Amino acid sequence: MHHTTRLVAAAAITLLLGVPADADMSAHWELHANFDDRRIPGALADCVFKQNGQRLSGRCEDATLTGEIEGETVTWRLTPAGTHDTVTFTGMLDDDDTVVVGRFVYPRKGGGSFLAVKR
């Protein structure tokens, strides 16, 4: 009986904390990024995310993608081909695992906001 009580308590705590089910980001995504400084042009990119556990890999146009997902928080880094730059994106995945909204930082250029939509 004591074991059953612990299982019920653990289940209740999990529900109260709102621990999300594992997200699935493996898909084609359309990425829209806009710098805070409107003088710098924004970007639209076709991306392919591959998820293995909490790890992400893939490509956005000619950029290599690596990252991770923890709960609803998604972080990925893009390294454009022919550069040593790393653009870091951090956002929140919606409940349907179809939209990520957040912020990005591009070294020496600044940062901005982004929207990624699963296609």
Rounded Cα–Cα distance for residues 27 and 106 (Å): 24
User: Is the CB of residue 49 less than 8 Å from the CB of residue 59?
Assistant: no
Higher pLDDT, 68 or 108: 68
**Domains of the chain, earliest start first:** 22-118 (2.40.128.120)
47-99 pLDDT, tens digit each: 999 999 999 999 999 999 999 999 999 999 999 999 999 999 999 999 999 99
The whole model's pTM is what? Answer: 0.81
Rounded Cα–Cα distance for residues 62 and 53 (Å): 24
Q: What is the dihedral of CA 78, 80, 86, 87, to 10 degrees?
A: -60
11-24 pLDDT, tens digit each: 333 333 333 456 88
